[in-house]
Amino acid sequence: MGEVRHEPVDAIKLGSYGALFGGGCGLFAAAVQNALAKHNVGAWGVFTRSGLLITGVGATSGATIFTAAVMANLRETRDWKNWSAGGFAGGVIQGLIARSMPKVFGFGLSFAAILGAADYTGGLVGHNRINHNADEYEEKERMRRTRRRPIEETLEFVGEGRGIKPPGYEERRVQRLKEKYGVEINTVSAVATDEET
């Protein structure tokens, strides 16, 4: 993948947004876990029993995004290596929660591999395939040139009728009806003339 021109980002802001989003996801998962519990633990059981889940997911996502942003600012590039470093940081957090040194390295390396590969291949939404250097006007002009089709081609594909009435439609309709049924149909204009009023 080619490198994309880097513009510095606020790593603390992105990290805090990531932590808040991850905390929200952790809170949702904890609420579902609390609702499906066999014992009645009460509404506060979301926090008392599953507080580690909430903070763990929040810290993992915050550390991942913060580290990726810091790496992007330090290296002055936007590529897959930033997300690999961020994934490693998030995996380390998960390993520390598990309190096992092999899990620290295992989770770190697996998160780094997954996030690095996802960013390298364009991710789920294909954000790396977008030309970030292109001007918005130039991008819209390119889309118009490459995507626009002539009306004749569209009508040939879609066909006439069903509310699609290109120029000369009424005459062709009358001719088709005359050929198919052998009846002469007079076309009526919807516009009232001065003589009728």
Region 9-18: mean pLDDT is 91
Nearest to residue 77, comparing CAs of 15, 117, 113, 119? 119
21 is in which domain, residue-wise? 11-137
C-alpha span between 106 and 110 (Å, rounded): 6
| High-pLDDT (> 90) share of the chain, % | 32
Shared domain check, 125 and 49: yes
Q: How many domains does the chain have?
A: 2
Residue pair 38/101 in contact (Cβ under 8 Å)? The answer is no
Shared domain check, 72 and 166: no
- How crowded is residue 22: how many other Cβ atoms within 10 Å of its Cβ? 23
| Reported confidence tier of residue 173, pLDDT bands at 50, 70, 90 | confident
Q: E strands within the chain? A: none
Region 147-160: mean pLDDT is 72
**pTM for the structure as a whole:** 0.59
| Reported confidence tier of residue 1, pLDDT bands at 50, 70, 90 | very low
Domain boundary among 109, 137, 165: 137
| Reported confidence tier of residue 126, pLDDT bands at 50, 70, 90 | low
Does residue 57 surpass a pLDDT of 70?
yes
Shared domain check, 54 and 100: yes
Domain for residue 197, yes or no? no
Phi then psi dihedrals of residue 123, to 5 deg:
70, -175
pLDDT at position 64 is 93
C-alpha span between 102 and 108 (Å, rounded): 10
Does residue 35 surpass a pLDDT of 60?
yes
Shared domain check, 77 and 44: yes
Using alpha carbons, list the distances in angstroms from residue 105 to 69, 84, 143: 21, 13, 46
Domain for residue 144, yes or no? no
